[in-house]
Every structure is written in C-alpha cells, then in structure tokens.
Amino acid sequence: MHASPAGQAPGTHALQFVLTRAREPQAEGGTRTEASALERELGAAGVRVHEFALIHVLPAADPLPAQRAVQALEDFHLVVPVSPSAVQALLRLRDRPWPVSCAVGLIGRASREAFERGLRERGEDPSRLRLLCAQQAGADSEALWQELQALRGAWQGARVLILRGDGGRDWLAATLQAAGAEVQVVELYRRVAPPADAATLERLRALLALRAAWQIGAASSLDNLCGLLRAAGLEPRRELAAQRALVHHPRVAEAARKAGFGRVDVVEFRAGALVRALS
C-alpha cells in the first residue's frame, strides 16, 4: 500500500504520518509487506501514511568480506547485526542453518523481530538459539552491552562478528575489545541519499504542505532530508519549523531539534505508540 499526498483535501483532519525507513531494493518484497502491515494498523486508527525513504540501502562496495564472514559463523561465539537492514542482508548471505554455538546480539525489538521472522521463513526455529536483545524503546549499543553481560563472565578470547553498514558507531566494538574479545567488523551494505530528481523534490514539497509527523530513524536521515530541501531551493530550518518529528532515541531527537523540527517526540516505533503520539 502506498499512500500519496496528491489530492489531499485542504483542511482535512486525518492524522498525517511520513514513514522514512530505509528502502532496500534487493528486499523490496519483504520491506513492502512489513510496511503494509504497519500501514494497515495505522490506517485503522485514522492515520494516513505516506512513504518517503530518506535512506536507500545498497550492497557493500566489496561483498566478499561479508560473504566469507557470514558463511563462517561457526567460528564465532557472537554475531551482532546492528540494524534490521543488517539482519536482512545477513540472512540473504547465509545459505546454511544457523549454528547453535553462535549467539546473536540484537539492538532493539525491530531487529529481533526481523531476525526471528527471517529464520522462520527458512524453516528454522529461533528458540533453539541464544538471542540477546535490548528490549526497551530506543535501544542502543550501550543497552545491548548490558544484556551481553549475561552471555559470558569473561570476554577474553571470545570471537565476535559485528555486521553493519558503512560508517556507524564504534562504541560496541571498542568495548568488546577492551574486555578482551577478538572483534571483526564487516560492512554488509552502503547507505546513500535518495536522488534529488524532479519527482522526489515534487513529492517532498507535497509532503511538507501536509504539516505531517515525520518518522526519523537516524541522524543520517536528517542529513539527507536537509540535502533534499536545499536541492529544492528551500531553507531546511524554515521548512522544518512547521513539521513534527517522531524519533526512537534521545540522540536522534537532539539531532532533529538542531535540524530545525518545530516539535520532536521520542516514541517507540510501533503502531499503538505511534497512534497515541499522533493523537
């Protein structure tokens, strides 16, 4: 389902929500299914959803390191795919059952749900694995590290694989290394800004006119949004002052305020929490 602002009647009282989650061309089917499920729940509550991806996910520039690492999970004590995008890319590369000896660290409920759903679709039972996940809303690497304390009393000699996109925070890798673990960090994908073509900029202007609430998942999304606004000949702070941002973490909230959003709220990215925030 793809809602469009075209034809939106002036003065409408529908709650408007812009979903900006990453677009993954290689997994378009799965991503659209997940988005449609959320849209159906929000739509039933009177929320109109408009999709406008602020990050496009592409394969890593050099796919070989990721392919080799993912096919050798038996050599690791712990694997940490740092996002739902990393989970999806990981499962696409792994063509064998997940080894029971390899625990999985997941940052947030969305990553855990994506991992468990992906395993079930392959006929594997996630309950046979050791899954450690920071459960609270706005979970981050620090929250996952607290959960990982239950996995090992000592990390000396433990082999850990961290799978992520290009760039990203190094805090968890540095913390594990300081605790004695051997950490390998591998790039699974690249994140790029959406193209600033005529169609994209026209849609952006239409969304701005709605005075909607924007789901913002990362500081890089904000950077890309501001870049598109400038490409459209608009001043970001002036345009965003009339918009609202819904974010999942205080760090992203701070970045959204600096970018110029007139209102910023930290909420859990689930239909019920989003409807409450929008209402």
Give yes or no: residues 30 and 104 share one domain. no
- The pLDDT score that the predictor gives to residue 14 is 67
Classify residue 100 by burial, with Cβ atoms within 10 Å: 0-12, 13-18, 19+: exposed
Question: Could you tell me the strand order of the sheet in which 15-19 lies?
Answer: 47-51, 15-19, 213-216, 244-247, 263-266
Give yes or no: residues 65 and 181 share one domain. yes
- The pLDDT score that the predictor gives to residue 2 is 43
Is residue 6 assigned to a domain? no
Q: Total domain count for the chain?
A: 2
Give yes or no: residues 111 and 180 share one domain. yes
Is residue 199 assigned to a domain? yes
* Distance from C-alpha of 132 to C-alpha of 105, rounded to nearest angstrom: 5
| Residue of 250, 269, 88 lying closest to 164 (CA atoms) | 88
Give yes or no: residues 207 and 261 share one domain. yes
* Distance from C-alpha of 41 to C-alpha of 242, rounded to nearest angstrom: 26
177-184: list long-range contacts, CB under 8 Å, 24+ apart: 179/154, 179/155, 180/154, 180/155, 180/156, 181/155, 181/156, 181/157, 182/157, 182/158, 184/69, 184/76, 184/159, 184/160
Give yes or no: residues 82 and 133 share one domain. yes
Give yes or no: residues 83 and 179 share one domain. yes
Is residue 137 assigned to a domain? yes
| Residue of 220, 212, 208, 203 lying closest to 256 (CA atoms) | 220
- The pLDDT score that the predictor gives to residue 157 is 92
Q: Per-residue confidence of the chain (279 residues) as pLDDT tens digits?
A: 344 443 333 334 468 999 998 876 544 334 444 446 778 888 888 899 999 999 998 888 899 999 999 999 999 999 999 988 899 899 999 989 999 999 999 988 888 988 999 999 999 999 999 999 886 655 678 889 988 987 887 899 999 999 998 877 789 999 999 999 999 999 999 889 999 999 999 999 999 999 899 999 889 999 999 999 999 999 999 999 999 999 988 889 999 999 999 999 999 888 888 888 988
Give yes or no: residues 93 and 164 share one domain. yes
Is residue 210 assigned to a domain? yes
Give yes or no: residues 51 and 79 share one domain. no
Give yes or no: residues 70 and 177 share one domain. yes
Is residue 237 assigned to a domain? no
| Residue of 75, 73, 22, 78 lying closest to 51 (CA atoms) | 22
Show the tokens assigned to 169.
């925070």
Give yes or no: residues 187 and 197 share one domain. no
Is residue 1 assigned to a domain? no
Its domain, for residue 187, covers 59-191
Show the tokens assigned to 272.
């019920």
Give yes or no: residues 114 and 180 share one domain. yes
Is residue 250 assigned to a domain? yes
Show the tokens assigned to 150.
């239950």
- The pLDDT score that the predictor gives to residue 170 is 87
- The pLDDT score that the predictor gives to residue 124 is 96
* Distance from C-alpha of 40 to C-alpha of 77, rounded to nearest angstrom: 39
- Last residue in a domain, options 129, 163, 191: 191
Instruction: Give me the CATH number covering residue 157.
Output: 3.40.50.10090
Give yes or no: residues 31 and 133 share one domain. no
Is residue 200 assigned to a domain? yes
